[in-house]
Amino acid sequence: MRRTGIVLAIAALVAVFSPAAAQAVTGWTTVGSDNARPLDEGQGLATIERPSGTIYRYTGIATVPMSLSTQGWNHVGDPGSAQGWYVEPYQRDDRGAKLFRVESPDGKWANYTHALESWEANNNSFAAVTPDARWMVAGEWGTMDRLLVHPMPGVAHTNPSANLPYSSAIRLDKPVRDIQGCDFVTATRLLCASDDPEGSLFGTTKPLLQVDLSGALSGSDVTGRVTSLGQLPLKSTCSGNFETEGIDVAADGTLRVVVLSPSWCVAFDSKTWRFRKA
């Protein structure tokens, strides 16, 4: 009986720590996970493809530049990238504006600000760049039936001193809640990580959502058909409330999603989960 108890205990530990034990999402196979440091990898991630090679970027509380934090930009969201361009979304506590910090393929940085529309929430949760780098999709917090589209700063909007305008919207056929990050898979498909704590919209908390567009972005509203692919992996030695964060789809097809662990475990067993198409 004692040996049986030891075997069961070992099996339980394997179930907790093995990537294979992570629950699957439809159409994707979990292939592993990496530790996600909460301070500098806890908000999001992006893969930048340039002639010089592949660059991996992460965002977190500790990655906010001092030059921005002293101006009130105290939150960075999930970044995006395409065609060698890289963009980080920032927000502040007032309704002054949103900021997008952009790095060009040649490594030069510029800041672009967007004055809020009267109906727009001040949250700036993520930036997703279309594969042709002509458009940028941004997201608000809460329960929403839209994603916001801007001309890509640095590409289609090239004057940092001029307001980055709102262009159009992706009108979602179902409401979504607490979207932390999105990334384009193709010109007409995004994957989005939802931090939904309730589960009433899609039957599960923390879902991975697929948004299929009625057409490629071109400056006019398009419809987005939302499908839940299931709950993202929630594995930790601590129990409690997990927080899903940013998402990235690399050129080689690898999907990565950051999930922060509950309680004190956030410091040592938060994970960036890796998936491949099933």
pLDDT computed for residue 19 by the predictor: 39
Predicted confidence (pLDDT) at residue 266 exceeds the cutoff of 60: yes
Kindly report the average pLDDT of the chain as a whole number.
92
Question: pLDDT tier at 96 (50, 70, 90 boundaries)?
Answer: confident
Residue 1, pLDDT > 60, answer no
3-state secondary structure 82-103: ECCEEEEEEECCCCCCEEEEEE
- pLDDT for position 95: 84
Query: What CATH class does 2-277 carry?
Result: mainly beta
Contact present, 231 and 205 (Cβ < 8 Å): yes
pLDDT tier, 16 (very low <50, low <70, confident <90, very high otherwise) = very low
Spell out the residues 6+ positions from residue 233 whose beta carbon is closer than 8 angstroms to its own.
22, 23, 30, 33, 259, 271, 273
Can you tell me the mean pLDDT for 16-20?
40
Spatial CA neighbour of 47 closest among 72, 73, 78, 24: 78
Is the entire prediction scored with pTM above 0.85?
A: yes
Per-domain residue ranges of the chain: 2-277
* Residue 18: pLDDT band with limits 50, 70, 90: very low
Lowest mean pLDDT among 14-18, 22-26, 112-116, 221-225: 14-18
**Per-residue pLDDT tens for 146-164?**
999 999 999 999 999 999 9
